[in-house]
A and B are shown apart, each in its own frame.
Chain A
Amino acid sequence: MKGIVFTEFLDMVEERFGYEVVDQIISESKLSTDGIYTSVGTYPHSEIVKLLMNLSDKVKIDPKTLLKEFGKYLFDVFLKSYPHFFSSVDGAFAFLHSIDKHIHIEVLKLYPDATLPKFISYESDNGDLIMTYKSERKMSALAEGLIEKSIKHYNEKCTVKVENIIEDGSVVKFTIKKIS
């Protein structure tokens, strides 16, 4: 898991729940890294899961919701840090298409060791955008938050339908339908 996920997650926790919570979940999670992360590093996936679960326990919010909120938060971070990814496309669908086709390729240039989820996207005959999330990390909620926030960013109105293709959540289908 890329370091940016850890650093931005902890920033979001600090922002929303205060550094005390950050300190607590790090302490409780008994992390091999002692909770010290840098965005350019790579750390075990299990640690974000522990942090997420401990946060959920602490603030009594379900992890899925937290993850979705983190997705929304992360979109803003990305928008701030990598504005050219967003300015180079003129709409939500184009942007969403570009994740797999462009952004992930760029990410891999920077971090060749990164394990990125697969987003297979295509437009159906009725104009819906069908995106299939595929990742053993089963963090489709984070993707959902990112998708919703990106639609909002481009001032578009869409419904997002989420269905598990595989029950454990490793393959999830998003159907994004524009609302005219």
Chain B
Amino acid sequence: MDIELLKRKLKREKISRKQAEKILEDKALELYHTNEALKKLNESLEEKITQRISELQESETKYRNVIEQATDIIYSTNADGYITFVNARGVEAFGYTEKELLGRYFIDFVLDKYKEDVKAFAGQLISNVVFIEYSEFPIVDKNGNIHWLGQNVNRVEKPNGEYYFIAVARDITLRKSAEKKLETARLALEQSEVKYRSVLENMDLGLMEVDTKGVIVRVYEGFSKMTGYSKEELIGKDAIKTLIVKGYEDILIKQDSNRLNGELGVYEVQIKRKDNTRIWVLISGAPFYDNQGVVIGSLGIHYDISDIKNLEFNLEIAREKAVESQKAEQKFLANMSHEIRTPLNGIIGMAHLLMDSGLDEKQQEYVKILSDSSVILKGLVADILDISKLDSGMAEISESVFHLGELANSLINSFKLRANEEGVELICLFNCDLDCFVKSDKQWLNQILINLLGNAIKFTNEGRIELNIKRVKEHDDGYTYSFEVIDTGVGIEPEELGVIFSAFKQANTKVRKDYGGTGLGLSIASRLIALLGGELEVDSSLGKGSRFFFSLRFKTSSKELSKNTIINEINIEARKDMKLLIVEDNYMNQRYISSLLDKWQIEYDLAENGRVAVEKYKQNHYNLIFMDLSMPIMDGYEATLIIRGFCKEKIPIVALTASNLLSKKELALKSGMTDFLAKPFVPEDLFLMLTKHLDTEFVKSAFNDDAFTYNNKLDFESLKNIYGNDYSHALDMFTTFIDVVDGEILNLKTFIKEESRANVKRVAHKIKPIFSMVGLGHISKICEKIEQSAKSMSFLDINKYYEELMIKLNLSKPLIVSEIYKLKKFIKGVVR
């Protein structure tokens, strides 16, 4: 029983074991399948991963290429900012090699000034504030050049929570410098805008805009203020009708049409304000354009110039008054001069004539005193007038050509008598050649020397007075001459030296008492020297004497020769066909002139006023008229105008006036007069006028008697034609010829030797006339031949002509030299 029980129990156990085994097996199979599935999954995963890896590799290669070839700088850094990668462009931009860049701290490359900024940016990225950041900053490359970078930095998170940075940067240096320029320009513009705006505001300018039809479209505050209209009252109105004062519309219309053509304009008009008052405005108008460049209107800037206009008006009145008063002053001066000089002239003239009228000794002495006194008085008057002219700046320089030597000689001659009377020796040391022709104001220079010599004689009781004239410097157009007046007189106290050139100042009152005079002499001399461009200086030693000296620069001229110095020596024959008309109301002057003309045996008629003159002119033929200006019934201007009215031939009319004023001269010339003779005049002045205005035959005949004769081996007829009576000119030309001829001939010789045709031709052409100028016409002809042959002939032939020229020239040279000697002698003789 027990065994049966146990057997059943065992059987159950066995079955349960088998069931358990079965379950285990089933589980094992399930496990296997699961494993298989897992294995499969794993396998496909691996496959996928492999595929993805290969895709990734491909894409990485692709991106790497893109990055490497990128035109932007691409680099990455680790979280601390150390460079871990940089592309080719980056390498290029930094200037370092890739090896040098990798592992470097990025901030090291940033320009010092910007380092903190860039760190701050990086800080924002690090502290998670932003994940991407754009910034611009400069870096310094290996060569020290600065590049501006504009870069985007991206913070890239790794799965493990670490991160790194990728930066894509672009070199924006050019853009930055352009921006900087733009900024500078913008700032300048802003500044200038601020400047101009403040200028505009401060200037109270009124701005207003009109369209192309002249309708007001915009009004600025300043313009409202200026016109008194509100903006609303003006906008939409016609600008011209509303604002412009009648009479100025045309200006506006013209300006508006200019504006349509794009032209700017500035003009002045009067505008009326709202309250009907008028103001003057200066308008600066400029067109303005739409986008297509079409003029759509114009902007007018208005500036109230009423005050300026008033000022202008007042100034004009003031100017007119000033001109009037100047005229009055000139008139006064002229009248003074006329009033005093005219009677004085009469006295002098009459005394002159009285001397020749067979007086006894006593009478002669009286007349001499009379004459001397009147001469002194004339001198005084002249001095006072001169100084007032010099003071008022009215003194003028009238240049003429004269010979310094002659001037000196005539001065010495005129002072010699006085010097002898004083018991003083008077000498002139003239250290110049005879060709001292200078161009200057002869009258002023004469007066300077008269004043200085007169002064010397006055203060010298014994010893001698020297006049030294020296040529001290040569210029292109002339020479500087020094003038000295040395005396052995009383001298001047050192403390007085400073005042002696002042007007009306003499060394002291004692001097005035002892020596007399106005004290104007030195003052006038000093001012006249200044007028001519020099300075009067003085050395003096009290009790021993004084030296007054100055230097002046003159232009030299050999072309003109003042003839008046020669006149006195020439006898003039009356010309049967010549007649003058003297128009002069003053009896004394009539007598003076007529006596001179009688002396020279020149026929004349007299007329006491303009009307008589006109009548006489109608009935007779005259060669020249001397015309006084201020006369009763009809003055000289009117008479001249009438004569000129029916005058077919241009008869010379010479004005006679006591005034030296330019305004009078102008008036005289304007009314048709030919020339001008200031009273009082000396006989030479009158004669000069005759020679100047009468036909050359008369003048020639006046000189022919004493004419110089050229050697008959020269072309004397042609020389006479060339030089006439101008022997100085002839002398000058002859001298020049001798000076230059050898040099020119040498040039010619050299060029012939060099066979330089062009130069031979040029030199021959150049020297050709100089032979004619000295009466060697036959040599000129040889030159002509050389000139012609230089074009084509052989140099053998040219040389033949040259030999001929040399032979002729060597024969002629002594002739020319002897002519120079003769001419010098002749001129000297004439001067003496």
* Interface positions of A (Cβ within 8 A of B): 38-40, 81, 109-112
Contacts and interface: CB of A to CB of B under 8 A. Distances in A.
21 contacts: A38-B17, A38-B21, A39-B18, A39-B21, A39-B25, A40-B21, A40-B24, A40-B25, A40-B28, A81-B22, A109-B28, A109-B29, A109-B32, A109-B33, A109-B36, A110-B25, A110-B28, A110-B29, A110-B32, A111-B28, A112-B32
Nearest to B23: A40
Contacts of A110: 25, 28-29, 32
Contacts, number: 21
A40 B20 CA distance: 10
A53 to B, nearest CB: 25
A40 B22 CA distance: 9
Contacts of B18: 39
B19 to A, nearest CB: 11
A40 B33 CA distance: 17
A46 B206 CA distance: 129
A127 to B, nearest CB: 35
Nearest to B21: A39
Contacts of B25: 39-40, 110
Interface string B8-27: 00000000011001101100
Nearest to A81: B22
A111 B22 CA distance: 13
Nearest 7 A/B pairs, CB to CB? A109-B32, A39-B21, A40-B24, A110-B28, A40-B21, A110-B29, A110-B25
Contacts of B33: 109
Chain B facing A: main interface SS:
helix
Contacts of A39: 18, 21, 25
User: What interface size band does chain B fall in?
Assistant: 10 to 19
Contacts of B17: 38
A110 B23 CA distance: 12
B686 to A, nearest CB: 164
A38 B13 CA distance: 13
Given A39-B21, A40-B25, 12 more contacts: A38-B17, A38-B21, A40-B28, A81-B22, A109-B28, A109-B29, A109-B32, A109-B36, A110-B28, A110-B29, A111-B28, A112-B32
Contacts of B32: 109-110, 112
A170 B553 CA distance: 154
Interface in B140-197: none
A165 to B, nearest CB: 33
Contacts of A112: 32
Nearest to A40: B24
Interface string B595-626: 00000000000000000000000000000000
A30 B32 CA distance: 35
Chain A facing B: main interface SS:
loop
A111 B32 CA distance: 9
A24 B613 CA distance: 200
Nearest to B28: A110
A43 B664 CA distance: 164
Interface string B29-52: 100110010000000000000000
Contacts of A109: 28-29, 32-33, 36
A44 B22 CA distance: 22
Most buried by A among B18, B21, B22, B33: B21
A40 B29 CA distance: 12
A39 B19 CA distance: 11
A80 to B, nearest CB: 10
Nearest to A19: B10
Contacts of B36: 109
Contacts of A111: 28
A112 B33 CA distance: 12
Most buried by B among A40, A81, A112: A40
A38 B23 CA distance: 13
Nearest to A111: B28
A81 B25 CA distance: 11
Contacts of B21: 38-40
A111 B29 CA distance: 9
Interface string B496-514: 0000000000000000000
Contacts of A38: 17, 21
A8 to B, nearest CB: 11
A110 B32 CA distance: 7
A110 B17 CA distance: 18
B239 to A, nearest CB: 111
A110 B25 CA distance: 7
Most buried by B among A81, A110, A111: A110
A40 B26 CA distance: 11
Nearest to B24: A40
Nearest to A106: B29
Contacts of B24: 40
A109 B25 CA distance: 10
Interface string B671-703: 000000000000000000000000000000000
A22 to B, nearest CB: 12
Nearest to B32: A109
Most buried by B among A39, A111, A112: A39
A112 B32 CA distance: 9
A134 B21 CA distance: 28
B417 to A, nearest CB: 170
A147 B492 CA distance: 177
A85 to B, nearest CB: 13
B30 to A, nearest CB: 10
Contacts of A81: 22
A169 B25 CA distance: 31
Nearest to A109: B32
A112 B31 CA distance: 12
Nearest to B33: A109
Contacts of B29: 109-110
A111 B25 CA distance: 9
Nearest to B14: A11
A109 B37 CA distance: 13
Contacts of B28: 40, 109-111
Nearest to B10: A19
A38 B22 CA distance: 11
A106 to B, nearest CB: 8
A57 B11 CA distance: 28
B272 to A, nearest CB: 121
B593 to A, nearest CB: 168
Nearest to A11: B14
A81 B22 CA distance: 9
Contacts of A40: 21, 24-25, 28
A81 B29 CA distance: 14
A110 B24 CA distance: 10
A2 to B, nearest CB: 11
Interface string B433-474: 000000000000000000000000000000000000000000
B39 to A, nearest CB: 12
A14 B798 CA distance: 169
A110 to B, nearest CB: 5
B142 to A, nearest CB: 67
A6 to B, nearest CB: 12
A81 B18 CA distance: 10
B704 to A, nearest CB: 166
B678 to A, nearest CB: 156
B15 to A, nearest CB: 12
A109 B32 CA distance: 6
A110 B33 CA distance: 10
A1 to B, nearest CB: 16
Interface string B207-221: 000000000000000
A112 B28 CA distance: 10
A81 B24 CA distance: 13
A153 B24 CA distance: 28
B304 to A, nearest CB: 116
